Amino acid sequence: MITLYGFGRVHKKVIGETRDLRVEWALQETGLPYRVQPLDHTGGELDGDAYSRISPFHQIPVIDDNGFVVAESAAILLYLAEKAGKLIPDDVAGRTHVTQWCFAALATVELPLAEIFMIDNFGISDSERHRAFLDQWAGRVLGNLERRLDGRTWIACADFTVADILLAAVLREIRKTDLIEPYPRLKAYYARALARPAWQRTMAAYAQRLGVEVADIV
């Protein structure tokens, strides 16, 4: 049985935004049996000795698969796909493309989008110049995703993969902005990903765990 270390209590500003969501989504998609171990972030549980032993940066998510521990959301998703034999192709070329797009989602796309999220939700900068730079950077990244999606349903392969989970989760960080508006293919892609029943189940389970309504976190 896989244990997912996820949030049980966390600052209300980030409920619905946390990276345990993408792992639970992959678990729901694969059908692998799992349980969630909810941690109390506000009570300092991520900094305690027990969690220090399994989480390199005192962060969520981490999974423990019968003693095999994996941290970092992209690594976890690739592991789950390999284990389940789902959400990743069988051949080396296909798997490499999925890995490529997992890296792209986190190392290329998420950089400006996460910073925009931090500014909008936590006010980490009030520099208009900084924000304009980030909007321009995000536009470059999103425009290239639009180009990639020409004639494609999913980002890495013909079928839905863990790279799509990561990319959709990252795009979700800017859902309260209008940055995606100029890109119809990307908008449709994002909507297609979030329409998946496994994502709906994930949101329902997460909302129940955190004691909120799904409507408050979409």
Ligand X SMILES: N[C@@H](CCC(=O)N[C@@H](CS)C(=O)NCC(=O)O)C(=O)O
Distance between CA atoms of 110 and 167, rounded to whole angstroms? Answer: 8
Distance between CA atoms of 45 and 63, rounded to whole angstroms? Answer: 16
Question: Three-class SS of residue 82?
Answer: helix
Beta carbon nearer to ligand X, 44 or 184: 44
State the sign of the Cα–Cα–Cα–Cα dihedral 4, 82, 26, 44. positive
Q: Are 83 and 28 in contact (CB under 8 A)?
A: no
Taking each continuous run of H as one helix and of E as one strand, the counts in the chain are 9, 4
Beta carbon nearer to ligand X, 60 or 104: 60
Binding mask 3-22 for ligand X (x = CB under 6 A): ---------------xx---
Distance between CA atoms of 126 and 131, rounded to whole angstroms? Answer: 8
Q: Are 5 and 55 in contact (CB under 8 A)?
A: yes
Beta carbon nearer to ligand X, 51 or 189: 51
Binding mask 67-86 for ligand X (x = CB under 6 A): -----xx-------------
> What is the DSSP-derived secondary structure letter of residue 174?
G
**Smallest separation (angstroms) from ligand X to the CB of 18:** 4
The answer to whether residue 202 forms part of the interface with ligand X (CB under 6 A) is: no
**Smallest separation (angstroms) from ligand X to the CB of 187:** 24
Binding mask 31-70 for ligand X (x = CB under 6 A): ----------x----x-----------xxxx---------
Distance between CA atoms of 193 and 6, rounded to whole angstroms? Answer: 22
**Smallest separation (angstroms) from ligand X to the CB of 70:** 10
H or E segment and range at residue 168? helix 162-171
Residues within window 101-140 making contact with ligand X, judged by CB under 6 A: none
Shortest Cβ contact with ligand X: which residue? 59
Task: Count interface residues toward ligand X (CB under 6 A).
Answer: 10
Beta carbon nearer to ligand X, 47 or 181: 47
List of residues contacting ligand X (CB under 6 A): 18-19, 41, 46, 58-61, 72-73
